[in-house]
Structure 1
Amino acid sequence: MERRVLLAAGLAGAMQGLGPNPAMAQGAGPALVEKKVFAPGAYRTRGGATIPNLRLGYQAAGRLNATGDNAILICHFFSGNSHAFGQLAANGPMGWWDAIIGPGKPIDTDRYFVVAVDTLVNVNVPDAGTVTTGPASLNPDTGRPWGMGFPVVSMRDFVETQKLLLDSLGVKRLALVAGPSNGGLQAIEWAAAYPDFVARVMPVIAADIDAWMQGWLDIWEAPIRLDPNWRDGDYYGAGREPPLRGLAEAWKIVTLHARDRLWAKQYDRTLPEGQDPARRIGDRFGIERWLDDAAAVRAKTSDANSFLYMVRANQLFLNEHPSLEAAMAQAAPRWLVVPSPTDRVFLIEGVRAFIEVLRKAGKQVETAEVTGSLGHLNGVVAMAPVGERIREFLAK
């Protein structure tokens, strides 16, 4: 569980990703999923650049109905991937929203065709369970990784590449688009981009990316740019070390930002063995040592340039609209907004302001809350108690 919570630490946090196994029809044990790859060829970004060889991983479960309108899209958080449900192997970890997705669960794969996708510029490039296209991918024109020459992509590009996948699968309309944090932002972007394609929207621990949040995102990424090993993104060559120190410091900021004070109480007045900060300035407190160790592990399983590109995609949330109000005016009609009251990333007052924008735009808005000691991360690991609210929302 601790590894799962750590991986979930981005604009929410992390895991892996994949698609359905017919053997699961027998219902014996958790759903086994297989990795699938969507490779449609070239993709033109919203900014006008061309990505010549788009490849994205995805997983799916359930059956698409004859009218193509029982599909649900699950979008992942900042440091996550498409492993939202099921297992990749019999003894492997469960997906990050497995508590609410699967046969007979609130997002019922016996009833719905559920798809989850690895985004562009996914940070989990070293993870074999992630398939993405981004700065660590090979540029076919040079035979070398793109680095910072990779085109800038926005949240809308995440939506457009997902739309290409859904079209290829025969999906005609989404019964629901949902996700936590960065996944919730994608859900909101979907609602604005394709209001007639989306019946329901469920953003969890997400609201608007305003200037205050853009500033926080800049703080998240700053240590990477300060690491001399970053070399303006040119660290993939032989004999060069990746900027692991800067990346670890970045994850440390994200990790603490995504947790609440109640979680940190376990480290009150604790000192690692042999440490005495009152006597030696270089010694560490318990919370500092935990953050150091956790962030160092996370840095080894992610890519620094991809982190920067993911930050920019979040900063470009709804960037094709003049305002949040304008974006929501013509957005999809039905919403279940799920905040965490102790969220330190998307503060509850910001979520309330977002809900007010939706209601003023005439949307049908329901709310539910996720609670617990983990603050922002409640929206990843504490979803089971709101399962019935989700089931009811889908039934309306």
Structure 2
Amino acid sequence: MTWLSMSSALIAKPLVIKQRFETENFKTFNNQVIKQVAVGWESYGTLNANKDNVILITHYFSANSHAAGKYSDDDPTSGYWDALIGPNLAIDTNKYFVISVDSLANLGAYNEHVITTGPASINPDTGKPYGLSFPVVTIRDFVNIQKLVLESLGIKKLHAVIGPSMGSMQAIDWATTYPKWVPRMISIIGSAHSDAWTTALIEQWTIPIKLDPNWNNGHYYDSTPPTEGLIAALMFITQDALTPEFINDIGSSSAVNHQPLEAKPMTSILHSHRIVQWLRTTATARAKTFDANHLLYLARASQLFVAGHNSNLDTALSGIEARTLFIPSANDLLLMPYLSENVHLSLKEQGKSSQLDTLTGNLGHLNGITKITEKAEKIKNFIEQE
């Protein structure tokens, strides 16, 4: 049996322990100061004596540092890339020390396994939640927090940085900002900047929250939260991350059985079609551990993104020393394939070492999470090549 055919479910993995990192007076990219910052991090594998076998996994928008493994034997779910990270897998924890860090303003503010500082956190100056007084944060701030975590472990260079979606933004920002740290960078379902189309699309996610009367300009922590707005935002995000093919397959299932002329929607505007109810049920379950303000902050960080965080993307790309691999999804409607293709071509034109390999599947953007094993061998070969 080859490593590629081995199921991660059959490989014994040690349980994951969430670690905590704290720092004071963190200065943001926009020159604001957050007096107290705490973020969680997880690791898989063993840090070698030279501390040069480190692979950083930068997580996507609605995720956290739980990239692989379980917290307990009876944990019902594993980390989102559990099929990719582990002993003898593509990102082999027999060889590499794999680490991931919770983002600032992490969406899962009420997830017991997430440690983050954001609008829902207590402002030490007031003793109350920050709300919208929390500074606007950027992808660069997420990168800089990760760098502090790594440095606290005595790490001075990465073997590779790999990230999907919002994580791809962090990965390429690492490569442009700290090129001496990054010899290999993999961008999955990613982008090097938020163009006009993407920025406008992401803005749609924020509108339901802002229109929810319970949002109250972000001041809801001692009252009723804007749950309806948050659920609506997550419905948009879920649909944007999928494809018409997948949604239509759900609609044709016996559990949903979508029909244009369904009885309830015909009798009242207040009733929705069953496929809309499916989206709402999915979003409602996810909303239980999420915070609405945190979603707004992550959306803004994504909208503000350009690799290198300066006005000229080509100049920023010229500073990359890493070999790069871009893995877009062919039917991605969120971070469309052209975003990866364009930066790949730009790097090639600059004489950089860059590869591109496109995911297939019917899940659109989510191919980069749930179908990533399609490119497992490509990823393994890329990170193991000297």
Taking structure 2 as the reference length, what is the TM-score of the superposition? 0.91
Structure 1 unaligned runs (5+)? 1-26
Alignment of 1:124-135 (within 5 A): 124-135=108-119
1:147-206, Cα deviation, whole Å (9 max, x unpaired): 000011110000011000001111121111011100111101111110111010001001
Q: Letter of the 1:72 partner, please give it.
A: I
CA distance in 1, matches of 2:238, 2:140: 26
Alignment of 1:377-392 (within 5 A): 377-392=366-381
Confirm or deny: 8 A CA contact 1:64 1:171 kept in the other structure.
Answer: no
Alignment of 1:146-295 (within 5 A): 146-207=130-191, 208-237=193-222, 240-266=223-249, 267-268=251-252, 270-271=258-259, 275-295=263-283
* 2:47 is the alignment partner of 1:59: no
1:219 shift after superposition: 1.1
1:79 shift after superposition: 0.4
Confirm or deny: 8 A CA contact 1:275 1:283 kept in the other structure.
Answer: no
CA distance in 2, matches of 1:357, 1:387: 25
CA distance in 2, matches of 1:209, 1:154: 12
Confirm or deny: 8 A CA contact 1:30 1:86 kept in the other structure.
Answer: yes
1:274-314, Cα deviation, whole Å (9 max, x unpaired): 84434543332222111121122222220001011111111
Moved more, 310-319 or 171-180: 310-319
Confirm or deny: 8 A CA contact 2:104 2:142 kept in the other structure.
Answer: yes
1:382 shift after superposition: 0.8
2:123 to 129, 135, 139: 139
SS at match of 2:265: coil
CA distance in 1, matches of 2:157, 2:215: 43
2:353 to 359, 364, 386: 364
The total of aligned residue pairs comes to 368
CA distance in 1, matches of 2:221, 2:83: 38
1:16-52, Cα deviation, whole Å (9 max, x unpaired): xxxxxxxxxxx97233101100012221111111111
CA distance in 2, matches of 1:111, 1:166: 18
SS at match of 1:52: strand
Moved more, 278-287 or 147-156: 278-287
1:351 shift after superposition: 2.2
Q: Letter of the 1:390 partner, please give it.
A: I
CA distance in 2, matches of 1:185, 1:31: 30
Structure 2 unaligned runs (5+)? 1-9
CA distance in 2, matches of 1:28, 1:160: 34
CA distance in 1, matches of 2:377, 2:178: 27
* 2:307 is the alignment partner of 1:335: no
Moved more, 351-360 or 336-345: 351-360
1:248-277, Cα deviation, whole Å (9 max, x unpaired): 111111110000111012215615998443
CA distance in 1, matches of 2:211, 2:269: 23
2:364 to 375, 379, 382: 375
Match of 2:337 in 1: 348
1:350 shift after superposition: 2.6
1:120-167, Cα deviation, whole Å (9 max, x unpaired): 010100100100000000001110000000011110000011000001
SS at match of 2:170: helix
Q: Letter of the 1:37 partner, please give it.
A: R
RMSD: 1.8
SS at match of 2:239: helix
1:333 shift after superposition: 2.5
CA distance in 1, matches of 2:180, 2:371: 31
Q: Letter of the 1:98 partner, please give it.
A: D
* 2:363 is the alignment partner of 1:393: no
Alignment of 1:46-125 (within 5 A): 46-92=29-75, 93-125=77-109
1:349-382, Cα deviation, whole Å (9 max, x unpaired): 2321121112122221122222222110010111
Confirm or deny: 8 A CA contact 2:39 2:102 kept in the other structure.
Answer: yes
CA distance in 1, matches of 2:291, 2:320: 34
Identity %: 40
Q: Letter of the 2:265 partner, please give it.
A: P
